């Protein structure tokens, strides 16, 4: 794990992914680089997002952050996790 890893940024990635899936019906990001100072998530789209779409996504994510909900980390055995995932994703778990 990167020395710049920040759990808050990791949680923000999950919030962004959920907002993207709900708003655009797209898949989760195909690539993510999460660091304390700067992070990025890559999605497949036919065209760049508009400023309005970006602002709406930002508002949705910020609204969830402002709720200050608890973050629960639940460690499960690898085999149990693979059973819960889409088969194509489960194959990638090391």
Asked if the model's pLDDT at residue 2 lies above 60, the reply is no
Q: What is the pLDDT of residues 5-19, one digit of tens each?
A: 678 888 989 999 999
- Stated as kind and residue range, the H or E segment containing 92 is none
Predicted pLDDT of residue 86: 67
Domain assignment present for 85: yes
Domain assignment present for 2: no
Q: Determine the structural domain holding residue 69 and report its residue range.
A: 7-90
Using alpha carbons, select from 7, 9, 6 the residue that is nearest to residue 61: 9
DSSP state of 32: E
**CB of 42 closer than 8 Å to CB of 20:** no
Q: What is the pLDDT of residues 25-77, one digit of tens each?
A: 888 889 888 888 888 899 998 889 999 999 999 999 999 999 999 988 888 89
Q: Tell me if residue 69 falls in helix, strand or coil.
A: coil
User: For the domain that residue 21 is a member of, what is the CATH number?
Assistant: 3.30.980.10
Whole-angstrom Cα distance, residue 58 to residue 78? 33
Domain assignment present for 23: yes
Number of domains observed in the structure of the chain: 1
- Which token pair is 46? 């036919």
Predicted pLDDT of residue 1: 47
């Amino acid at each position: 794990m990167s020395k710049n890893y920040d759990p808050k940024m990791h949680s923000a990635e999950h919030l962004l992914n959920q907002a993207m899936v709900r708003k655009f019906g797209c898949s989760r990001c195909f690539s993510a680089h999460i660091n304390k100072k700067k992070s990025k998530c890559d999605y497949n789209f036919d065209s760049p997002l508009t400023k309005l779409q970006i602002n709406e996504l930002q508002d949705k994510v910020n609204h969830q952050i402002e709720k200050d909900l608890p973050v629960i980390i639940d460690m499960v055995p690898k085999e149990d996790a693979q059973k819960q995932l889409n088969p194509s994703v489960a194959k990638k778990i090391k």
